[in-house]
Amino acid sequence: QAILAPPLGLPQDPARAAAARRPTQQHRPRTPCCCRGTRAMGNCCGNRPEDQADKDEKFGNGSKDLSEGPAAKTRGCTDIVWIPIFAAAWVLFLIVTFAGMLNGNPSKLYSPRDFSGAYCGVEENWNNGPNLVNTPTLSFTMNVTSTVELLMKQAVCSAPAAKVLTEGNSFFDPLLETQEERDAYLCNCCIQPCGGCDASIAVEDFTDATALVDTMQAKLAELTDFSNAASLFSTGGANGEMFSTSAFWEEATKWFNMVCVTDCSIDYTSINGSSDARTFTYKPPPDFNLYPIWMTLLGADTSNTMATKVTQLINQSFTFKALPESMCPYDPEYCVPFPGVQYAELKGSSLYCTFDFAGEVIDAIGDVAASALESVGVTAITSSATEELGKMAGDFLSAIDAFIIVSVLAFIIGIVFLVVLRFTIGICVWIAVAISVLMFVVFGALVFVMSIQCSGAGIWETGVQTSVAVVVAGTTAVSQTLTGEEVSEDCTGDCQDYRGIQKFSKNGLSCVTWDDPSRTRMSQYSSTAYPEADLEKNYCRNPYKANDTLKHDTIWCITSDELVKWEECYPIGVIIPECDDGHEIEPEEWRTILHYTSYVIWGLGGVWLIIIICMVKRINLAISLNKVAALFLARNPHIVLIPVVQAIVAIIWTLLWFLSASFLLSQVPADYTPTASYATYTEAYGTGGNCTFWSTITGETCVEGTPGMCNDQWPTGDVWKASAADCEWADGVAKCWRCSQPRYAFDWRFWVSFFVYLWNHAFNIALGQILIAMAVSLWFFTKNEEKGKLGLVPKALKIIFRYHVGSVIFGSFIVAAVQFIRYLMKYFEKQAEAQKNRIMVYVLKCVQCCIWCFEKCIKFLNKNAYIQIALTGNNFCTSARKAFFLILRNVIRFGTLAALSGIIHAIGFVFIMSATVVVGYFLMREMHDDISPFMPIVCFILVSYVVAKLYMNVFGLAVDTSLQCFLCVEEMGLGQDCVPPVLANFVKQQTSKAAVTAQASAILPAQTSTASAEL
């Protein structure tokens, strides 16, 4: 212009000046596809008058704008310094892994372990454990202590034994010399109501010693003589239904010991004639409250004819046959076979045994019943085994073939869902909207239920007791209305002054008359014996005398049930009685708050519904963006190869990492758990407190738990009880409780390996995100008639791996670091939980919640930063900043799309995961019906979650990238040549609004100039 300008003072030629202002052909900027044929708002590609700050935040011209499209040649390498850092992390990971393989033993994570934690097939076990090198198979023997405990109580607490111990006769004094000992015996046996019992022992009682001895000998003969095995599991046997129903087998872990034996095919009946067979004579554990009573009866003077039959019973009938030490290298107590129960291998090469009834038992109870009971027993045992991480890992390794097949099926299910989603996207969005409203309804109902929930009582138990109380109160009210009588149900303290007419126990058992002459049970309670207690008819009362040492704390009655002699009652009108442990949420003010909170939540649901109605246009935009994503997937189906490859890489990486980490996990230090013995279970295992979150908030008094010596750190060890012969004695106190080590432990090497795992996993996800974002960007800014003709994935791969791998590594490092800190806080929480430090547990839970929220924000910002990198080619930090400001400028749009897309993602996760798990379960039962399906199903859930996450990332990223591309078109004022048709109307609307605004802005200066000229 300076060259073409006329000399100073001469007039300028208009044509010459116009030519000077018009750019030459070689310097004219290339018009992008969206600007060809259209000049939106009077300017092309965003040449709008804006201030510099606005240009820095919004899409605009320059070296990093979209005038040349997403694949502009102005890109350069970004964040390359993170590439060598990532390589160094891999080197450290390999060093740690190879070092761990030298001393690790992954078989410890899944090898069989007996009741004491010793490994089967191992010669030297921890803490001088048994030599099990010749017994590699885990089988089961009778837990004598648990099996005969009820029979022992029935004998020791029977009426003949009670008479010998507490009453005596004219010839012999009672064996218990002091009243304190007698009271302790009566309370321990629950013969009389006392604070330590809530009902009598539900066993048959006997009137004389002969009946006691005959019955007990018949019952014990079925347990000690293999020839009586058939009657043991028959309802017609001496033990009745104790061992013949599924209830017994559902608690198989209670009645059996896990021991290591030579093999599963041992013929247990052969010990009858074996020369090296052993015997075991039962005694209660030294720390059991009836142990002194047992020893007193056992040591009774033989001249005491009153005690002779009871003494002979416990001295002769409680002797069991045990396996030889060559078959079962433990004390005889742990090697007593269960009559009629044999075992078979789970599979040909398995080291685990399963239940298999003997032939005579099957003949007695039938094939169907035997198979059912075997199945229940196997389920109970395998369910118990899955409580250990190592055993679960073994189940996973055993089912690795099913895992691989299910992983492939998960890919196919994901593709099916994407195809279905393409045709049902509109329905899915509105279903998602309906679900969001429904969530308020459901959550409000949940809070309402929590406001009335009791602690320690299940839903069924609370329902039964409440139903009984309602029925009794209703019938009583009707009866009193008809008769015109009114009886007070009030009582104070321990309710000794109760004079109401309640005649049902708390569980609905009817009460018997106190003065019924035909009643033989608890005959010491009558109106004659307790004249001041008003023992009228069969009404509940709390009778005791002032000098009685055994007193109950509420009303009770003698029930009509043959097994439950007595049980507590509630006064009529108490519909929801106070639970023994209080309510689940204390105090009452909090329950009231929750009650009204439920109504607030339902009100918010109504407000949310109104907001949805007001945001119909934005929801329609979200639907259109989802349709754009569906259209992108329909025209570029090969894009699903990205999550497929990601899933394969993720699965291979997870398997390799798990195998490498197993060497590190299996290295438990020898001093991890103490080797000493302890006098009580509480000392070894600790105590559980009754403090809750609400008691912490309100400052209510509660009992704090204390850690045990065996489980004061996490992973926690376990506790087991040694036999009486192996107990250590100190100052007359038996120390029988010992510790066992956990299968796994953590050290710094594991944490290094775990961080590298998280980093690589995050890198895998981030790489897929930026590749999909790059592909969608290239597709979006291509002319509509040319969409689908370009190879998007190869071009996206070339751009990302050439320029932006460093940025992907940087972004994934940030995510991995936040995740690692969160998992570390979880580890500290487990340590605090092991230490019974509930305050620190709650603090760490809150910290984890905050970190989790921060992690979600980081992931959301990273995802949009990757989209910005794909669009503009900036480095990670710059792209994150631009993405942040873009979200701020369009917060409502992002919020609406995120809310709806989140629920759509939930639908996708439910579809893919549920379908995969269902298919995997049935496949698992067909291929491996001999192992617990718990751990394989957990793995199916995990792999289906990973696959669902990867597949939904494709669709979600396509939606998010389409939104940013739409905003780019909107902010830069681009044309509609490249805008997908489903978004054309929205672009027209924005263009019309902008044109009207621009026209109004242009008219005002023109009017101002005219007015100035006229002046």
**Predicted local distance difference test score (pLDDT) of residue 67:** 53
Distance in angstroms between the alpha carbons of the first and the last residue of the chain: 32
What average pLDDT does this structure show over 208-226?
Answer: 86
> pLDDT over 70 for what percent of the chain?
79
Strand, coil or helix: 243: coil
* Range in 19-23, 136-140, 147-151 with the lowest mean pLDDT: 19-23
Q: Is the pLDDT of residue 26 over 50?
A: no
Residue 864, C-beta contacts closer than 8 angstroms, at least 6 positions apart: 880, 883, 886, 887, 960, 964
**Predicted local distance difference test score (pLDDT) of residue 964:** 86
**Predicted local distance difference test score (pLDDT) of residue 559:** 92
Tokens of residue 760, six digits: 């690589």
Among 442-451, 502-511, 612-621, top mean pLDDT goes to: 502-511
Instruction: Write down the pTM of the prediction.
Output: 0.64
**Predicted local distance difference test score (pLDDT) of residue 13:** 47
| Cα–Cα distance measured from residue 928 to residue 672, given in angstroms and rounded to the nearest whole number | 36
**Predicted local distance difference test score (pLDDT) of residue 28:** 40
| Cα–Cα distance measured from residue 212 to residue 190, given in angstroms and rounded to the nearest whole number | 18
Greater model confidence, 46 or 653:
653
Confidence of residue 785 (pLDDT cuts 50, 70, 90): confident
| Cα–Cα distance measured from residue 161 to residue 152, given in angstroms and rounded to the nearest whole number | 11
Confidence of residue 50 (pLDDT cuts 50, 70, 90): very low
Cis peptide before 715 (omega within 30 of 0): yes
- The one-character DSSP state at 801 is I
CB atoms within 10 A of CB 305: 11
Confidence of residue 831 (pLDDT cuts 50, 70, 90): very high
Confidence of residue 19 (pLDDT cuts 50, 70, 90): very low
Interval 384-441: pLDDT, tens: 443 445 555 566 667 778 888 888 888 788 878 877 776 777 777 777 778 778 888 8
What average pLDDT does this structure show over 552-575?
Answer: 87
Among 419-423, 544-548, 555-559, 954-958, top mean pLDDT goes to: 555-559
Greater model confidence, 123 or 806:
806
Residue 326's nearest CA partner among 263, 269, 258, 256 is 263
**Predicted local distance difference test score (pLDDT) of residue 933:** 74
**Predicted local distance difference test score (pLDDT) of residue 789:** 67
What does pLDDT average to over the chain? 78
Q: Is the pLDDT of residue 940 over 70?
A: yes
**Predicted local distance difference test score (pLDDT) of residue 209:** 84
Q: Is the pLDDT of residue 961 over 80?
A: yes
In the numeric block, the tokens 């590298």 are attached to 756
* Range in 40-44, 251-255, 482-486, 752-756 with the lowest mean pLDDT: 40-44
Contact 665, 96 (CB under 8 A): no
What average pLDDT does this structure show over 339-347?
Answer: 77
**Predicted local distance difference test score (pLDDT) of residue 693:** 67
Partners of 729 in beta bridges: 734
Q: Is the pLDDT of residue 782 over 90?
A: no
- The one-character DSSP state at 119 is B
Residue 445's nearest CA partner among 275, 286, 599 is 599
Interval 606-623: pLDDT, tens: 998 888 888 877 877 787
What average pLDDT does this structure show over 648-657?
Answer: 90
Q: Is the pLDDT of residue 835 over 70?
A: yes
Q: What is the 3-state secondary structure (H, E, C) of 331-357?
A: CHHHCCCCCCEEEEECCCCCCEEEEEE
Confidence of residue 640 (pLDDT cuts 50, 70, 90): confident
Confidence of residue 49 (pLDDT cuts 50, 70, 90): very low
Contact 325, 185 (CB under 8 A): no
Confidence of residue 51 (pLDDT cuts 50, 70, 90): very low
Among 478-487, 501-510, 808-817, 916-925, top mean pLDDT goes to: 808-817
Q: What is the 3-state secondary structure (H, E, C) of 126-185?
A: CCCCCCCCCCCEEEEEECHHHHHHHHHHHHHCCHHHHHHHHHCCCCCCCCCCCHHHHHHH
- The one-character DSSP state at 302 is T
Interval 283-338: pLDDT, tens: 888 878 888 888 888 887 767 766 788 888 888 888 898 888 888 889 889 999 88
Q: Is the pLDDT of residue 42 over 60?
A: no
Partners of 137 in beta bridges: 261
What average pLDDT does this structure show over 540-555?
Answer: 88
Confidence of residue 45 (pLDDT cuts 50, 70, 90): very low
Interval 730-758: pLDDT, tens: 887 888 888 998 988 998 999 999 999 99
Contact 242, 251 (CB under 8 A): no
**Predicted local distance difference test score (pLDDT) of residue 990:** 58
CB atoms within 10 A of CB 195: 10
Interval 93-104: pLDDT, tens: 999 989 888 888
Strand, coil or helix: 740: strand
**Predicted local distance difference test score (pLDDT) of residue 813:** 96
**Predicted local distance difference test score (pLDDT) of residue 273:** 55
Interval 219-277: pLDDT, tens: 888 888 877 777 877 777 887 777 767 777 777 778 888 999 888 887 766 665 566 77
In the numeric block, the tokens 């394969």 are attached to 648
> pLDDT over 90 for what percent of the chain?
13
**Predicted local distance difference test score (pLDDT) of residue 431:** 75
What average pLDDT does this structure show over 4-18?
Answer: 42
Interval 626-635: pLDDT, tens: 778 877 877 7
